[in-house]
Amino acid sequence: MISPAIGRYEATLAGLRRKSRLRALMPQQGIDFTSNDYLGLACAPRLAAAISAAIEEGVPAGAGGSRLLRGNHWVHEALEAEAAAFFGAERVLYFGSGFAANVALFSTLPQRDDLIVHDALIHASVRDGISSSKAAAAVVPHGDVEAFEAAIRHWRAAGGKGSPWIAVESLYSMDGDRGPLPALAEIAARHGGFLVVDEAHATGVFGRGGRGLASGLESCGNVLTLHTCGKALGVSGALLGLPAVLADYMVNRARSFIYSTAPSPLMAAGVREALRMMEDEPERRSRLDAMLAFAGEEFRSKLGITPSGSQIQPVMIGDNARALRIAQRMQDDGFDIRAIRPPTVPDGTARLRISITLNVDEGQITAMTERLAAAIEEERP
Protein backbone atom coordinates (compact mmCIF):
# COMPACT_ATOMS: atom_id res chain seq x y z
CA MET A 1 0.00 0.00 0.00
CA ILE A 2 1.29 3.45 -0.92
CA SER A 3 1.47 5.86 1.99
CA PRO A 4 -0.99 8.80 1.89
CA ALA A 5 2.03 11.04 2.47
CA ILE A 6 3.14 10.26 -1.10
CA GLY A 7 0.16 12.21 -2.40
CA ARG A 8 1.76 15.61 -1.91
CA TYR A 9 4.68 14.61 -4.12
CA GLU A 10 2.35 13.29 -6.79
CA ALA A 11 0.43 16.58 -6.67
CA THR A 12 3.62 18.57 -7.15
CA LEU A 13 4.61 16.45 -10.14
CA ALA A 14 1.14 16.80 -11.62
CA GLY A 15 1.42 20.58 -11.30
CA LEU A 16 4.76 20.58 -13.08
CA ARG A 17 3.25 18.46 -15.86
CA ARG A 18 0.36 20.91 -16.34
CA LYS A 19 2.84 23.76 -16.71
CA SER A 20 5.03 21.75 -19.12
CA ARG A 21 7.83 21.93 -16.56
CA LEU A 22 8.12 18.25 -15.66
CA ARG A 23 11.64 16.89 -16.06
CA ALA A 24 12.61 13.34 -17.02
CA LEU A 25 15.82 11.49 -17.80
CA MET A 26 16.53 10.86 -21.48
CA PRO A 27 19.15 8.61 -23.08
CA GLN A 28 21.89 9.92 -25.32
CA GLN A 29 20.70 9.63 -28.89
CA GLY A 30 21.04 11.61 -32.09
CA ILE A 31 23.67 14.11 -33.21
CA ASP A 32 25.13 15.98 -30.24
CA PHE A 33 23.85 19.55 -30.11
CA THR A 34 23.31 19.61 -26.36
CA SER A 35 26.41 18.44 -24.46
CA ASN A 36 29.14 20.57 -22.89
CA ASP A 37 31.88 18.41 -24.42
CA TYR A 38 32.99 21.43 -26.42
CA LEU A 39 36.43 20.17 -27.49
CA GLY A 40 35.37 16.56 -27.97
CA LEU A 41 37.70 15.36 -25.21
CA ALA A 42 35.27 13.07 -23.39
CA CYS A 43 36.00 10.22 -25.84
CA ALA A 44 39.49 11.31 -26.88
CA PRO A 45 41.85 8.31 -27.16
CA ARG A 46 44.67 10.22 -25.45
CA LEU A 47 42.52 10.88 -22.40
CA ALA A 48 41.40 7.27 -22.23
CA ALA A 49 45.01 6.12 -22.55
CA ALA A 50 46.08 8.34 -19.66
CA ILE A 51 43.42 6.89 -17.39
CA SER A 52 44.33 3.35 -18.49
CA ALA A 53 47.97 4.07 -17.72
CA ALA A 54 47.01 5.36 -14.28
CA ILE A 55 45.15 2.11 -13.60
CA GLU A 56 48.23 0.14 -14.65
CA GLU A 57 50.32 2.24 -12.25
CA GLY A 58 48.01 1.32 -9.38
CA VAL A 59 46.02 4.54 -9.08
CA PRO A 60 42.74 3.52 -7.39
CA ALA A 61 39.26 4.22 -8.71
CA GLY A 62 38.05 5.33 -5.27
CA ALA A 63 39.79 7.55 -2.75
CA GLY A 64 38.59 5.55 0.26
CA GLY A 65 37.98 8.54 2.49
CA SER A 66 37.91 12.31 2.77
CA ARG A 67 40.95 14.40 1.88
CA LEU A 68 41.64 14.98 5.59
CA LEU A 69 41.73 11.25 6.24
CA ARG A 70 43.32 8.64 3.97
CA GLY A 71 41.61 9.95 0.83
CA ASN A 72 44.31 12.52 0.04
CA HIS A 73 46.06 10.74 -2.85
CA TRP A 74 49.29 11.98 -4.39
CA VAL A 75 47.45 12.36 -7.70
CA HIS A 76 45.12 14.96 -6.10
CA GLU A 77 48.09 16.98 -4.91
CA ALA A 78 49.89 16.68 -8.24
CA LEU A 79 46.79 17.87 -10.08
CA GLU A 80 46.31 20.83 -7.75
CA ALA A 81 49.94 21.93 -8.14
CA GLU A 82 49.83 21.60 -11.93
CA ALA A 83 46.47 23.37 -12.16
CA ALA A 84 47.73 26.26 -10.02
CA ALA A 85 50.68 26.69 -12.38
CA PHE A 86 48.47 26.33 -15.47
CA PHE A 87 45.85 28.88 -14.40
CA GLY A 88 48.21 31.21 -12.54
CA ALA A 89 46.50 30.79 -9.18
CA GLU A 90 48.31 30.77 -5.85
CA ARG A 91 46.56 27.56 -4.82
CA VAL A 92 43.97 25.18 -6.30
CA LEU A 93 41.60 22.78 -4.56
CA TYR A 94 40.05 19.88 -6.47
CA PHE A 95 36.36 19.13 -5.84
CA GLY A 96 34.10 16.36 -7.09
CA SER A 97 31.93 18.80 -9.07
CA GLY A 98 31.46 22.46 -9.81
CA PHE A 99 28.23 22.37 -7.81
CA ALA A 100 30.07 21.05 -4.75
CA ALA A 101 32.81 23.64 -5.14
CA ASN A 102 30.41 26.58 -5.38
CA VAL A 103 28.39 25.42 -2.39
CA ALA A 104 31.57 24.98 -0.36
CA LEU A 105 32.97 28.37 -1.37
CA PHE A 106 29.93 30.52 -0.74
CA SER A 107 28.84 28.74 2.43
CA THR A 108 32.34 29.07 3.91
CA LEU A 109 34.36 32.09 2.84
CA PRO A 110 31.96 35.09 3.04
CA GLN A 111 31.63 36.02 6.72
CA ARG A 112 28.67 37.22 8.78
CA ASP A 113 29.39 40.93 8.21
CA ASP A 114 30.10 40.53 4.47
CA LEU A 115 27.89 41.07 1.43
CA ILE A 116 27.54 38.76 -1.58
CA VAL A 117 26.36 40.54 -4.73
CA HIS A 118 25.52 38.17 -7.55
CA ASP A 119 24.27 38.37 -11.12
CA ALA A 120 20.61 37.46 -11.58
CA LEU A 121 21.57 34.62 -13.95
CA ILE A 122 24.24 33.05 -11.75
CA HIS A 123 24.46 29.26 -11.51
CA ALA A 124 22.04 27.47 -9.17
CA SER A 125 25.01 26.07 -7.23
CA VAL A 126 26.08 29.60 -6.27
CA ARG A 127 22.56 30.35 -5.07
CA ASP A 128 22.56 27.20 -2.93
CA GLY A 129 25.90 28.15 -1.44
CA ILE A 130 24.64 31.64 -0.66
CA SER A 131 21.55 30.22 1.03
CA SER A 132 23.88 28.46 3.50
CA SER A 133 26.06 31.54 4.07
CA LYS A 134 25.92 33.83 7.08
CA ALA A 135 26.60 36.84 4.84
CA ALA A 136 23.94 39.17 3.47
CA ALA A 137 23.13 38.81 -0.22
CA ALA A 138 21.90 41.04 -3.03
CA VAL A 139 20.94 40.14 -6.60
CA VAL A 140 21.47 42.60 -9.46
CA PRO A 141 20.22 42.66 -13.06
CA HIS A 142 22.19 40.54 -15.48
CA GLY A 143 25.41 42.14 -16.66
CA ASP A 144 24.65 45.52 -15.06
CA VAL A 145 28.02 46.83 -13.83
CA GLU A 146 26.54 49.94 -12.29
CA ALA A 147 24.10 47.83 -10.28
CA PHE A 148 26.96 45.94 -8.65
CA GLU A 149 28.55 49.22 -7.63
CA ALA A 150 25.25 50.63 -6.38
CA ALA A 151 24.49 47.54 -4.28
CA ILE A 152 27.84 47.76 -2.54
CA ARG A 153 27.50 51.51 -1.94
CA HIS A 154 23.99 51.04 -0.53
CA TRP A 155 25.25 48.33 1.80
CA ARG A 156 28.14 50.50 3.01
CA ALA A 157 25.81 53.47 3.55
CA ALA A 158 23.58 51.23 5.68
CA GLY A 159 26.52 50.32 7.92
CA GLY A 160 28.09 47.36 6.10
CA LYS A 161 31.53 46.82 7.62
CA GLY A 162 32.82 43.59 6.10
CA SER A 163 33.99 42.70 2.61
CA PRO A 164 31.83 42.57 -0.53
CA TRP A 165 31.93 39.44 -2.70
CA ILE A 166 30.98 39.80 -6.37
CA ALA A 167 29.81 36.53 -7.96
CA VAL A 168 29.50 36.15 -11.73
CA GLU A 169 29.98 33.69 -14.56
CA SER A 170 32.52 34.49 -17.24
CA LEU A 171 30.33 32.85 -19.91
CA TYR A 172 26.69 32.38 -19.03
CA SER A 173 25.48 28.83 -19.45
CA MET A 174 22.02 29.52 -20.87
CA ASP A 175 22.63 32.71 -22.86
CA GLY A 176 26.19 32.29 -24.10
CA ASP A 177 27.14 35.88 -23.33
CA ARG A 178 30.12 37.13 -21.35
CA GLY A 179 30.37 38.77 -17.96
CA PRO A 180 32.05 42.22 -17.69
CA LEU A 181 35.03 40.89 -15.74
CA PRO A 182 37.56 43.76 -15.93
CA ALA A 183 35.03 46.32 -14.71
CA LEU A 184 33.87 44.04 -11.89
CA ALA A 185 37.45 43.30 -10.84
CA GLU A 186 38.02 47.04 -10.56
CA ILE A 187 34.89 47.47 -8.42
CA ALA A 188 35.91 44.61 -6.13
CA ALA A 189 39.39 46.08 -5.66
CA ARG A 190 38.07 49.58 -5.05
CA HIS A 191 35.76 48.38 -2.29
CA GLY A 192 38.23 46.01 -0.66
CA GLY A 193 36.28 42.97 -1.77
CA PHE A 194 36.56 39.77 -3.76
CA LEU A 195 35.56 38.76 -7.27
CA VAL A 196 34.48 35.13 -7.78
CA VAL A 197 34.40 34.06 -11.44
CA ASP A 198 32.70 30.82 -12.43
CA GLU A 199 34.56 29.82 -15.59
CA ALA A 200 32.57 26.61 -16.14
CA HIS A 201 31.75 27.23 -19.82
CA ALA A 202 34.85 29.27 -20.72
CA THR A 203 37.54 26.93 -19.43
CA GLY A 204 39.26 25.18 -22.32
CA VAL A 205 37.52 27.34 -24.92
CA PHE A 206 38.43 30.97 -24.26
CA GLY A 207 41.37 32.87 -22.81
CA ARG A 208 45.08 32.32 -23.28
CA GLY A 209 45.58 28.63 -24.03
CA GLY A 210 42.05 27.84 -22.88
CA ARG A 211 42.61 29.30 -19.42
CA GLY A 212 39.27 31.09 -19.35
CA LEU A 213 38.07 34.66 -19.69
CA ALA A 214 39.48 35.63 -16.29
CA SER A 215 42.95 34.60 -17.42
CA GLY A 216 45.43 37.09 -15.98
CA LEU A 217 43.21 38.03 -13.04
CA GLU A 218 44.03 34.96 -10.93
CA SER A 219 47.28 36.54 -9.76
CA CYS A 220 45.30 39.32 -8.09
CA GLY A 221 44.96 38.65 -4.39
CA ASN A 222 41.20 39.14 -4.45
CA VAL A 223 40.10 37.04 -7.47
CA LEU A 224 38.87 33.45 -7.17
CA THR A 225 38.15 31.30 -10.20
CA LEU A 226 36.27 28.05 -10.64
CA HIS A 227 37.21 25.82 -13.58
CA THR A 228 34.94 22.81 -14.00
CA CYS A 229 36.43 19.67 -15.51
CA GLY A 230 33.29 17.99 -16.87
CA LYS A 231 32.72 20.32 -19.81
CA ALA A 232 35.48 21.25 -22.26
CA LEU A 233 38.06 19.27 -20.27
CA GLY A 234 36.04 16.10 -20.84
CA VAL A 235 36.42 14.49 -17.41
CA SER A 236 34.76 15.42 -14.08
CA GLY A 237 35.31 17.54 -10.99
CA ALA A 238 36.20 21.20 -10.50
CA LEU A 239 39.32 23.23 -9.78
CA LEU A 240 38.94 26.18 -7.42
CA GLY A 241 41.77 28.70 -7.74
CA LEU A 242 42.25 31.05 -4.80
CA PRO A 243 44.80 32.69 -2.49
CA ALA A 244 46.69 30.23 -0.29
CA VAL A 245 45.25 31.53 2.98
CA LEU A 246 41.71 31.05 1.68
CA ALA A 247 42.55 27.54 0.51
CA ASP A 248 43.79 26.70 4.00
CA TYR A 249 40.62 28.21 5.45
CA MET A 250 38.48 26.04 3.16
CA VAL A 251 40.37 22.89 4.22
CA ASN A 252 39.61 23.77 7.84
CA ARG A 253 36.08 25.13 7.56
CA ALA A 254 34.33 23.97 4.35
CA ARG A 255 32.04 21.22 5.60
CA SER A 256 31.33 19.71 2.17
CA PHE A 257 35.10 19.43 1.60
CA ILE A 258 35.89 18.07 5.05
CA TYR A 259 33.10 15.52 5.25
CA SER A 260 32.97 14.26 1.64
CA THR A 261 34.88 11.34 0.22
CA ALA A 262 37.62 12.73 -1.99
CA PRO A 263 37.10 12.71 -5.78
CA SER A 264 38.28 9.63 -7.67
CA PRO A 265 42.07 9.64 -8.07
CA LEU A 266 41.54 8.21 -11.55
CA MET A 267 39.53 11.28 -12.50
CA ALA A 268 42.28 13.47 -11.09
CA ALA A 269 44.71 11.64 -13.38
CA GLY A 270 42.37 12.33 -16.28
CA VAL A 271 42.19 16.04 -15.48
CA ARG A 272 45.98 16.23 -15.36
CA GLU A 273 46.08 14.84 -18.90
CA ALA A 274 43.31 17.17 -20.08
CA LEU A 275 45.33 20.18 -18.91
CA ARG A 276 48.35 18.88 -20.83
CA MET A 277 46.15 18.51 -23.90
CA MET A 278 45.15 22.16 -23.58
CA GLU A 279 48.77 23.07 -24.14
CA ASP A 280 49.68 20.34 -26.61
CA GLU A 281 46.63 20.48 -28.88
CA PRO A 282 45.71 24.15 -29.50
CA GLU A 283 44.28 23.07 -32.86
CA ARG A 284 41.16 21.89 -31.04
CA ARG A 285 40.36 25.47 -30.04
CA SER A 286 41.19 26.68 -33.55
CA ARG A 287 38.81 24.12 -35.05
CA LEU A 288 36.09 25.09 -32.60
CA ASP A 289 36.58 28.79 -33.40
CA ALA A 290 36.10 28.05 -37.09
CA MET A 291 33.04 25.94 -36.32
CA LEU A 292 31.53 28.75 -34.23
CA ALA A 293 32.02 31.25 -37.05
CA PHE A 294 30.32 28.89 -39.49
CA ALA A 295 27.47 28.12 -37.10
CA GLY A 296 26.96 31.82 -36.42
CA GLU A 297 26.35 32.49 -40.09
CA GLU A 298 23.95 29.55 -40.28
CA PHE A 299 21.96 30.85 -37.30
CA ARG A 300 21.85 34.30 -38.86
CA SER A 301 20.85 33.21 -42.36
CA LYS A 302 18.59 30.24 -41.61
CA LEU A 303 16.95 31.38 -38.35
CA GLY A 304 17.37 35.14 -38.31
CA ILE A 305 19.17 34.89 -34.96
CA THR A 306 22.07 37.08 -33.86
CA PRO A 307 24.92 34.72 -32.93
CA SER A 308 25.89 34.72 -29.25
CA GLY A 309 29.58 34.76 -30.10
CA SER A 310 30.21 31.59 -28.13
CA GLN A 311 29.59 27.86 -28.34
CA ILE A 312 26.25 28.30 -26.55
CA GLN A 313 23.41 29.55 -28.74
CA PRO A 314 19.96 30.06 -27.22
CA VAL A 315 16.94 29.96 -29.51
CA MET A 316 14.24 31.80 -27.62
CA ILE A 317 10.77 30.26 -27.78
CA GLY A 318 8.96 31.64 -24.72
CA ASP A 319 6.20 29.09 -24.19
CA ASN A 320 7.18 25.93 -22.30
CA ALA A 321 4.95 23.52 -24.21
CA ARG A 322 5.96 24.90 -27.60
CA ALA A 323 9.64 24.62 -26.70
CA LEU A 324 9.10 20.98 -25.77
CA ARG A 325 7.27 20.25 -29.02
CA ILE A 326 9.98 21.82 -31.17
CA ALA A 327 12.69 19.94 -29.28
CA GLN A 328 10.77 16.70 -29.76
CA ARG A 329 10.53 17.31 -33.52
CA MET A 330 14.30 17.81 -33.64
CA GLN A 331 14.96 14.67 -31.62
CA ASP A 332 12.63 12.67 -33.84
CA ASP A 333 14.77 13.76 -36.79
CA GLY A 334 18.01 12.71 -35.13
CA PHE A 335 19.22 15.99 -33.60
CA ASP A 336 19.81 15.90 -29.84
CA ILE A 337 18.43 19.31 -28.87
CA ARG A 338 16.74 19.90 -25.52
CA ALA A 339 14.21 22.46 -24.28
CA ILE A 340 15.29 24.57 -21.29
CA ARG A 341 12.40 25.80 -19.16
CA PRO A 342 11.83 27.61 -15.86
CA PRO A 343 13.08 27.51 -13.17
CA THR A 344 16.40 26.93 -14.95
CA VAL A 345 15.66 30.11 -16.93
CA PRO A 346 13.30 32.98 -16.03
CA ASP A 347 9.56 32.62 -16.58
CA GLY A 348 8.53 33.30 -20.15
CA THR A 349 12.00 32.59 -21.58
CA ALA A 350 11.78 28.88 -22.41
CA ARG A 351 14.30 28.15 -25.11
CA LEU A 352 16.32 25.62 -27.02
CA ARG A 353 19.93 25.63 -25.84
CA ILE A 354 22.10 24.64 -28.78
CA SER A 355 25.69 23.69 -28.08
CA ILE A 356 28.34 23.67 -30.79
CA THR A 357 31.09 21.13 -30.15
CA LEU A 358 33.76 19.25 -32.05
CA ASN A 359 31.41 16.27 -32.02
CA VAL A 360 29.63 17.70 -35.09
CA ASP A 361 30.69 18.95 -38.53
CA GLU A 362 29.58 21.79 -40.80
CA GLY A 363 27.21 19.59 -42.79
CA GLN A 364 25.42 18.53 -39.65
CA ILE A 365 25.16 22.14 -38.48
CA THR A 366 23.60 23.14 -41.80
CA ALA A 367 21.14 20.24 -41.67
CA MET A 368 20.23 21.09 -38.07
CA THR A 369 19.55 24.78 -38.71
CA GLU A 370 17.46 24.00 -41.78
CA ARG A 371 15.35 21.47 -39.89
CA LEU A 372 15.04 23.78 -36.88
CA ALA A 373 13.75 26.61 -39.05
CA ALA A 374 11.09 24.26 -40.39
CA ALA A 375 10.19 22.94 -36.93
CA ILE A 376 9.74 26.45 -35.53
CA GLU A 377 7.44 27.29 -38.42
CA GLU A 378 5.47 24.06 -37.96
CA GLU A 379 4.90 24.90 -34.30
CA ARG A 380 4.11 28.56 -34.86
CA PRO A 381 1.16 29.64 -32.64
Is the pLDDT reported for residue 218 higher than 80? Answer: no
Judge whether 20 lies within some domain.
Answer: no
- CATH code at position 372: 3.90.1150.10
| pLDDT tier, 294 (very low <50, low <70, confident <90, very high otherwise) | very high
132 domain-assigned: yes
Measure the CA–CA gap between 85 and 80, rounded to whole angstroms: 9
Same domain, 176 and 300: no
Handedness of CA 275, 210, 97, 291 (dihedral sign): negative
Is 12 part of any domain?
no
pLDDT value of residue 220? 77
What H or E segment, with its residue span, contains residue 234? none
pLDDT band at 26 (very low <50, low <70, confident <90, very high): confident
In this prediction the pTM is 0.93
Listed residues 234, 251, 279: the one ending a domain: 279
Is 297 inside a domain boundary?
A: yes
116-151: burial string, b at 16+ Cβ within 10 Å, e else:
bbbbebbbebbbebbeebebbbbbbebbeeebbbeb
What stretches of 23-63 adopt beta strand conformation (E)?
31-32
Count of the separate structural domains present in the chain: 2
pLDDT at 5: 87
Q: Supply the range of the domain harboring residue 337.
A: 27-41+282-378
**306 and 160 part of one domain:** no
Nearest-CA neighbor of 203 among 177, 180, 223, 225?
225
**360: in domain:** yes
Whether 362 has a pLDDT exceeding 70, the answer reads yes
Q: Tell me, what's the pLDDT at 2? A: 66
In sequence order, which residues have a C-beta less than 8 Å from that of residue 42 and are 6 or more positions away? 35, 234, 235
Residues 121, 199, single domain; the answer is: yes
Chain centroid offset of residue 180 CA: 17
Catalytic positions: 36, 123, 169, 173, 198, 201, 231
Residues 6+ apart with CB under 8 A from 251: 67, 68, 93, 257, 258
Local confidence band at 1 (pLDDT 50, 70, 90 cut-offs):
low
69 and 164 part of one domain = yes
Please report, for the domain that includes residue 181, its CATH number.
3.40.640.10
Same domain, 117 and 186: yes
| Cβ atoms 192, 152 nearer than 8 A | no
Helical ranges in 88-190 per DSSP H: 98-108, 124-131, 145-157, 181-190
Are 74 and 158 contained in the same domain?
yes
